[in-house]
Amino acid sequence: MNFVVDIVVTLKPSVLDPQGTTVKEAFHSMGYSKVDDVRMGKYMEVTISAGSKEEAQGKADEMCRKVLVNPVIETYSFDIKEQEKQEVN
Amino acid sequence: MNFVVDIVVTLKPSVLDPQGTTVKEAFHSMGYSKVDDVRMGKYMEVTISAGSKEEAQGKADEMCRKVLVNPVIETYSFDIKEQEKQEVN
């Protein structure tokens, strides 16, 4: 079975985000003065083959911890769903 | 009221994603052979002040369409929630 894992990696709230501040200032200079804050993150859609949802979940968690996320400054969350079958005509 | 808008911008499925392919190959070379596909996207957490959830939704949609998203190659989705009050001690 194939599972699609939507991973979001964000900076911890205590970590400064200069990229987000730049985007916020760009919004202000374009007239969007109601924007109070912008924090940037990373988004990945990873397709994994696994025997069960639990296995896919374990794999995704391991990949996040070991590869995708810097635990000193970042946190992550993900969402797993089974991939819909694609018909081959 | 303040609203937190979680915006995800992804490439349309028909658009090639060389960055995602590179990440996929990196996973394979690290032993994660069950990774079938990786697609990269952008994630932003934008805090907006607005009178109502509908107003915040309209603002967020406009910002996505006019600024954050290239409609030729990208699609977007977002999620709005009211910001929890922060106590000032």
How many cross-chain Cβ pairs, A to B, lie less than 8 Å apart?
Answer: 88
What pLDDT was estimated at residue B83? 86
**What integer is the mean pLDDT of B38-54?**
95
ipTM: 0.86
Distance between CA B67 and CA A85 in Å, rounded?
A: 34
Which residue, among B1, B48, B83, would best test binding to A if mutated, counting the most A CBs under 10 Å from its CB? B48
- What does R_g of chain B's alpha carbons equal in angstroms? 17
What pLDDT was estimated at residue B64? 94
Q: Specify whether domain A2-14+41-82 bears CATH 3.50.50.60.
A: no
Distance between CA A27 and CA A12 in Å, rounded?
A: 23
Binned at pLDDT 50, 70 and 90, residue B22 comes out as very high
Domain at B2-82, CATH class: alpha beta
**In chain A, domain spans:** 2-14+41-82
Say whether residue B78 is in contact with chain A using an 8 A CB cutoff. no
Chain A: closest CA distance from residue B53 (Å)? 14
Cα distances (Å, whole numbers) of residue B66 to B54, B62, B71: 18, 6, 9
| C-beta atoms of A44 and B41 within 8 A | yes
Binned at pLDDT 50, 70 and 90, residue B84 comes out as confident
User: Do A48 and B34 form a contact (C-beta atoms < 8 A)?
Assistant: yes
What percent of chain A has pLDDT above 70? Answer: 94
Q: Please provide the average confidence, as pLDDT, over all residues in chain A.
A: 93
Nearest CB to B46 within list A10, A38, A48? A38
